[in-house]
Amino acid sequence: MALVTKSIKGTQDVLPQESHKIQFLESTALEIAGNYGFREIRTPVFEHTELFQRGVGDTTDVVQKEMYTFLDKGDRSITLRPEGTAGVVRSFLEHGLYNEPMPQKLCYLTSCYRYEKPQAGRLREFHQFGVECLGTASPAADAETIALANELFSFLGVHDLELQLNSIGCKDCRKEYHKALHDYFESRKDELCGTCQERLDRNPMRILDCKSPVCAAIAKDAPKVLDYLCDDCRAHFEQVQAFLRTMGIPFTVNPTIVRGLDYYTRTVFEFVSTEIGAQGTVCGGGRYDGLVEEIGGPHTPALGFAMGLERLMLLMGAQNLPFPEPERCSLYLASMGDKALDRAMQIVAALRQEGVYAECDVVGRSVKAQMKYANKLGAKFTMVLGDSELDGGKARLKNMDTGEETEMTLDTFEGDFMRLSISESLKELEDLGVDTDIDVDAILNSTLF
């Protein structure tokens, strides 16, 4: 049978056998961010187009070439978010979060949309974990935000990842730098691509980020922004580096980093890998002290980063890093006949209410087929209920890992199974060398159960 349609180019499905991995990354990221005081924010998947034109910058590739923009039924120009920061800042202003104690530390898990050529590590629908710290100009905040990303990579075991750091100055010292760039590129204007020729007068720094091999080769000998920093920006950058050294976070200064969005000021950084091909930047971010003001709010210094989850998954796969196994079914309760199925569903329902992953037959399979299915689920325990078990009030519980069988009383089965299950878990911890001195009955008698 032919499919009506296939998934759209540049998108991908996350199948059940992979979804636990992305769930692990997301929960880990939120937990570590929480340790730094960041709280989750969720914003709409689409915004008014003007937000991205003014926030991201109309000289960027994102705005000029990559945004998914359309007119809605009210003839309003709407854009699927190409990145997370602009929407967070809009929400920060709309809901008056600038009246709350500063800094406001916000984090998010979000889908983004850019019309790009799909390749490994680059999709048209992709997902990011990001943080935004609004209301502080201190270089300590820059270092702390970088440390958060670094800690997440360290926790996951990601290695051979280089932190590259740069400063692109403030609007004052960038005036001289823009002039130097303009003079340099003007002399080779005819060699630049059409897009960069348009950028030359409006924002020559964007030429440094052009993906054209010709423009990239010309940009290689362009003036370096670090040579044009004002005293304040230079001091800020040196202090960021000092804090990173204090925290033992290695880095290299890369004066060619400008990032792809117009709102950045001063500190910019990237975590880069050489193990996933051309799309080696796994995390990027920096300071954007003028963005809140540009969108219509009070002057509010801020910074943040975004981390591509697909690229992180790709990198972890390349490094053969382990993910936690998906949760196994604790109990599969096979049944023979309607009465046995009724009792099985009753037991399974009670166990699920206690947080146990339990299954019973909902297809009408034979007992043999049910046991095959239990094996495919990887069930830790199985038990078969038939007329004789119901009449006798007892059944045999089988440990599928060891083959050991235990006779269980049906009237007290739920409590007995919980006790056995907890004891098995404690034994597994002890086998790993973890010292456990826990009273199982005390756990079962607690308010948790």
The pLDDT tens digits of the residues spanning 178-196 come to 899 899 999 888 889 988 8
| Radius of gyration, CA atoms only, the chain | 28
Q: In terms of DSSP bridges, do strands 358-360 and 302-308 run parallel, antiparallel, or are they unpaired?
A: unpaired
47 or 121, higher pLDDT: 47
- pLDDT number for residue 139: 98
Where helices occur in 157-305 by DSSP H, the ranges are 171-186, 194-202, 213-219, 231-246, 291-295
419 or 64, higher pLDDT: 419
The predicted-structure confidence for 24-37, as pLDDT tens digits, reads as follows 999 999 999 999 99
Query: Nearest 5°: phi and psi at 109?
Result: -115, 120
Q: Domain 331-445 maps to which CATH number in 3.40.50.150, 3.40.50.720, 3.40.50.800, 3.40.50.460?
A: 3.40.50.800
Contact by Cβ (8 Å): 123, 10: yes
- pLDDT number for residue 421: 83
Contact by Cβ (8 Å): 449, 354: yes
- What's the pTM? 0.88
pLDDT (mean) for 279-295: 92
Alpha carbons 408 and 397: distance in angstroms, whole number: 7
Contact by Cβ (8 Å): 356, 418: yes
DSSP SS3 for 308: strand
Q: Quick one: pLDDT band at residue 438, thresholds 50, 70, 90?
A: low
**Looking at the DSSP assignment, which residues form a beta bridge with residue 383?**
333, 397
User: Percent of the chain at pLDDT above 90?
Assistant: 73
Torsion of CA 234, 239, 242, 248, to 10 degrees: -120
Q: Quick one: pLDDT band at residue 216, thresholds 50, 70, 90?
A: confident
Give me the DSSP letters along 362-394: SS---HHHHHHHHHHHT-SEEEEE-HHHHHHTE
Contact by Cβ (8 Å): 253, 165: yes
Do domains 16-170+230-318 and 331-445 share one topology? The answer is no
Q: Quick one: pLDDT band at residue 203, thresholds 50, 70, 90?
A: confident
- pLDDT number for residue 443: 47
pLDDT (mean) for 244-269: 90
How far CA 362 is from CA of 350, 365, 442, in Å, comes to 17, 8, 35
- pLDDT number for residue 447: 43
Q: Where are the domains of the chain?
A: 16-170+230-318, 331-445
- pLDDT number for residue 231: 96
Q: Quick one: pLDDT band at residue 329, thresholds 50, 70, 90?
A: very high
Contact by Cβ (8 Å): 398, 361: no
Give me the DSSP letters along 1-19: ---S--PPTT-----HHHH
Alpha carbons 126 and 116: distance in angstroms, whole number: 11
Q: Tell me if the bond preceding 103 is cis, omega within 30° of 0.
A: yes
How far CA 9 is from CA of 45, 104, 122, 211, in Å, comes to 19, 37, 12, 21
Both tokens assigned to 191: 């060699």
- What's the mean pLDDT when you consider all of the chain? 91
How far CA 132 is from CA of 124, 268, 285, 441, in Å, comes to 23, 14, 10, 45
The predicted-structure confidence for 104-163, as pLDDT tens digits, reads as follows 999 999 999 999 888 877 899 999 999 999 999 999 999 999 999 999 999 999 999 999
- pLDDT number for residue 449: 44
Q: Quick one: pLDDT band at residue 437, thresholds 50, 70, 90?
A: low
Rounded to 5°, the CA angle 51-54-56 comes to: 85
Contact by Cβ (8 Å): 174, 216: no
Of 220-234, 247-261, 293-307, 416-430, the range with the lowest mean pLDDT is 416-430
Checking if the pLDDT of 429 tops 70, the result is no
211 or 382, higher pLDDT: 382
Which of 50-64, 117-131, 387-401 tops mean pLDDT?
387-401
- pLDDT number for residue 448: 45
- pLDDT number for residue 211: 78
Where helices occur in 274-327 by DSSP H, the ranges are 291-295, 309-318
Fold observed for domain 16-170+230-318: BirA Bifunctional Protein; domain 2 (3.30.930)
